[in-house]
Chains A and B, each alone.
Chain A
Amino acid sequence: MAEAKISPHSLNDLKNTTDDALANYLRGLQFRQDNTKLDVRLAIGYASVVIAAVTFTADYKLGWEATKGWTAVAVVAYALLNGAFTYWTWGVEKGCVFDGVKEGRKISVASKTNKHEPTYYLTVTDSGSAASARQIQAPFTTWFTADGYFVAKPFQQWLASSVEAIGAADVKNASRAETEEATAPGPEEIETVAQSTGSAQASGTESKSKSSKRSKRKG
């Protein structure tokens, strides 16, 4: 799934691919995913669709005059459910891409992007640390090649080194990122990534290392 090529000009594609990869990565680290938020949204949404479908069928079979009263009830119910749906999406989920637990430690990750800005913003809530939400951000070029391939390694290193709970679950990626932080990205690092992903993506990995340098200069 992450191997698919996407358009690097579409911020939507960048975000969706990254969201999917993030959930996959955390599931792979044995975080037990909690889908309650999405399930509630689906329940509210499908309930309102069922109301509309029943109204449509009744109207089609019995006509307007016979169904007037119930249609009014259905319209009000639909409006209320839709309000609840909107509230749930914007007020509760707030772009949540992953809720999960590992060894009693709860982690909740919400993502967002701003228009015309290729940066991935994450809000991480971690019950293990000081409980308050933490914001981290990185440019998409850190883990996308110039031609739109997702590269898992730098993405996982970024997460593991900036989120404590993920770092604790994935020590290898976390420590690796720290040593990389200490010394400038050496050529051997680029080579190993290029070997593992194949020569076809060599140009992409170059752009990746360039961008990581750029982000370092900024920070």
Chain B
Amino acid sequence: MFGSLATLQPRQLAAQVLNFALVLSTAFMLWKGLSVFTDSSSPIVVVLSGSMEPAFQRGDLLFLWNRGQETQVGEVVVYNVRGKDIPIVHRVIRRFGGGSAPLQLLTKGDNNAADDTELYARGQSYLDRSQDVIGSVVGYVPFVGYVTILLSEYPWLKTAMLVFMALTVVLQRE
């Protein structure tokens, strides 16, 4: 199979490599386009825990929207704890400030007994809307995100998938 690749003309080889590169770059730019559109660094997230059951289950895919910063009590937001890079999906139960003053939020998981002050970074007792929150949940698809949970729990799956994709794209001409 690689023999047929070696006999290609330089231009054809360049075109072949380009096909593969375009698949990757287009996927990446679509993601970035969605980021720009929603004004969120991560417009699609997967629920990793059961702390929001029964609203959201592990593996649900959430769509976020981050334009319009006036988040209300009852909205479900995704935020990053300062210093950690794990997005958490919880409901806003109290808000303070807003308007011209910076908006501060307190969140809690529907399925948790206590609010999130324990989860926040040391010395932090509320979320800063503009800094900590990635977006509000505006839509979801149940269960689909389980694929990514599997991929992150079994890293070799990721490698296998990437290698398989690369091979099929490079070895098949259009």
B148 within 8 Å of A (CB atoms): no
Query: Which stretch, A49-57, A148-156, A157-165, touches the partner chain B?
Result: A49-57
A148 to chain B, nearest CB (A): 13
Docked Cα-Cα span, A123 to B33, in Å, equals 39
A168 within 8 Å of B (CB atoms): no
Q: Is the CB of A71 within 8 A of B35?
A: yes
User: Which residues on the A side are within 8 Å of B22 (C-beta)?
Assistant: 45, 48-49, 85
A38 within 8 Å of B (CB atoms): yes
A200 within 8 Å of B (CB atoms): no
Q: Is the CB of B29 within 8 A of A68?
A: no
Given A12-B174, A42-B11, are A49 and B21 neighbors across the interface (CB < 8 Å)? Answer: yes
Instruction: Encode contact with A along B17-32: 1 for CB under 8 Å, 0 otherwise.
Output: 0100110111011001
Q: Is the CB of A52 within 8 A of B29?
A: yes
Q: Is the CB of A75 within 8 A of B18?
A: no
Instruction: Encode contact with B along A60-75: 1 for CB under 8 Å, 0 otherwise.
Output: 0001110010011011
Docked Cα-Cα span, A72 to B35, in Å, equals 9
Q: Is the CB of A78 within 8 A of B29?
A: yes
Q: Is the CB of A38 within 8 A of B18?
A: no
Q: Is the CB of B172 within 8 A of A12?
A: yes
Majority SS at the chain A contact face: helix
Q: Is the CB of A82 within 8 A of B26?
A: yes
User: Which residues on the A side are within 8 Å of B172 (C-beta)?
Assistant: 12
Q: Is the CB of B173 within 8 A of A35?
A: no
Docked Cα-Cα span, A63 to B21, in Å, equals 23
Docked Cα-Cα span, A56 to B25, in Å, equals 9
Docked Cα-Cα span, A35 to B18, in Å, equals 16
Instruction: Encode contact with A along B143-174: 1 for CB under 8 Å, 0 otherwise.
Output: 00000000000000000000000000000111
Q: Is the CB of A52 within 8 A of B25?
A: yes
Q: Is the CB of B15 within 8 A of A48?
A: no
Size class of the contact patch on chain A:
20 to 34
User: Which residues on the A side are within 8 Å of B57 (C-beta)?
Assistant: none
Q: Is the CB of B36 within 8 A of A68?
A: yes
Docked Cα-Cα span, A75 to B174, in Å, equals 25
B4 within 8 Å of A (CB atoms): yes
Docked Cα-Cα span, A106 to B22, in Å, equals 32
Docked Cα-Cα span, A49 to B14, in Å, equals 13
A59 within 8 Å of B (CB atoms): yes
Instruction: Encode contact with A along B41-84: 1 for CB under 8 Å, 0 otherwise.
Output: 10000000000000000000000000000000000000000000
User: Which residues on the B side are within 8 Å of A184 (C-beta)?
Assistant: none
Which residue on A lies nearest to B11, using beta carbons? A38
User: Which residues on the A side are within 8 Å of B15 (C-beta)?
Assistant: 38, 41-42, 45
B3 within 8 Å of A (CB atoms): yes
Docked Cα-Cα span, A63 to B28, in Å, equals 15
Which residue on A lies nearest to B40, using beta carbons? A64
Docked Cα-Cα span, A78 to B172, in Å, equals 25
B100 within 8 Å of A (CB atoms): no
Q: Which 4 A-B pairs have the closest CB atoms?
A: A52-B25, A64-B41, A75-B33, A45-B18
CB-defined A-B contacts under 8 Å, sample of 17:
A16-B173, A38-B11, A42-B18, A45-B15, A45-B22, A46-B18, A48-B25, A51-B25, A55-B28, A63-B41, A68-B39, A71-B36, A72-B36, A74-B29, A74-B32, A75-B29, A78-B25
Q: Which residues of B contact A (CB under 8 A)?
A: 3-4, 7, 11, 14-15, 18, 21-22, 24-26, 28-29, 32-33, 35-36, 39, 41, 172-174
Beyond A42-B18, A53-B25, 10 additional pairs, beta carbon < 8 A = A45-B21, A49-B22, A49-B25, A52-B25, A52-B28, A63-B41, A71-B36, A74-B32, A75-B29, A75-B33
